Structure 1
């Protein structure tokens, strides 16, 4: 048999196994987030994720060889749903901008992320890769938004010029995490506006003019 015929035969041979269906990835990752929020990493199983996603257990394992690998990818994908710091509300005041971000989907997303963070704490402490992914996906996006709004307010002279932008940008995410994880209380619009009016704005040197909004 000549070499050309052999090459043609090899090229024409069908590939073994089914091709990966990438459309299932999003369903599996969303299911992972939901199961993590409900059961935590230690209580979560691949069977739970597969059932929630309507996929076979083998389908999950073909994509992610371990539960930790699956969780790292799922947490990292949460970042894609966040508000772009370059596309923020501009009401003319820091309070107006921050209040404009307090919407029902935003509050629900913050609670979900905090529950996920609580669910993976046991793994974060021993997995640096997951710790990095968790911070980048769960805390940094909101800190980045707050940072951008605080810097804009400072630049237009609305705040004190010497404000600690990084500390203030982290304040609300930290208080949301404490309320959800330590106090086991819901994150409400009223709570967020109270933090804004009684803690964040005074720390920035701003007296709220419309605390009822």
Structure 2
């Protein structure tokens, strides 16, 4: 699901030019509501009230709470704008750690709370599930896949068999690591995801799996 709300009005809407500061205030309010109660806690009325604006002001910018939630996730940088880390030959471990730390933002308590709440509510909300999957889960898969693909290019890992090339490099291994990171945020009774958790997943799950699968293919 893609949105591009910047300087956009719903069809037929008119009025003064968009005010970026007002946009920011509304998005901050939406982020707070999402962090407090997930998607069920977000509504156009509540976002308007918390931002101190009229509901019409919100609707001139976003046609639905799904669009508002999508842009709020981008504004919160849940996974937006991140890049796969490239350091160099022999540094695959650190590249994986740095890439996952970049997405997880483990030093940011608000980020951890927002992600944990959204993951918990996404299981019962198909609309937010699609957003979280696209903005967060799929991004982790893509970035880790890019790190591993670069490692293959420079010879740090053997190439995957043809049957896996269409789905990305080491797709099953990536899914295992990503699933464990999500598990931490869903069922660990509010325990914050830390750098130590990311390092543990890389050292004990991801690297052993990609190394073993590489040996199996040789």
Matched residue SS, 2:87: coil
Normalising by structure 1, report the TM-score: 0.69
- 2-side partners of 1:136 and 1:61: how far apart? 24
Structure with the higher fraction of residues in helix conformation: 1
Q: CA deviation at 1:58?
A: 3.1
Gaps in structure 2 of 5+ consecutive residues: 1-13, 162-168, 213-218
- The answer to whether 1:89 aligns with 2:86 is yes
Distance 1:28 1:161, change over 3 A: same
**Any runs of at least 4 consecutive aligned residues in structure 1 with deviations exceeding 6 A, and if so which?**
none
- 169, 172, 182: which is aligned to 1:167? 172
Q: Decide whether the 8 Å contact of 1:28 with 1:50 is kept in 2.
A: yes
- The answer to whether 1:122 aligns with 2:124 is yes
Normalising by structure 2, report the TM-score: 0.68
- 2-side partners of 1:173 and 1:53: how far apart? 35
- 1-side partners of 2:40 and 2:102: how far apart? 32
- 2-side partners of 1:67 and 1:75: how far apart? 12
- 2-side partners of 1:171 and 1:26: how far apart? 36
Q: CA deviation at 1:186?
A: 1.1
Q: Size of the alignment, in residue pairs?
A: 185
- 2-side partners of 1:120 and 1:190: how far apart? 26
After TM superposition, the structure 1 = structure 2 runs for residues 128-139 of structure 1, keeping only pairs within 5 Å, are 131-139=129-137
Distance 1:187 1:79, change over 3 A: closer
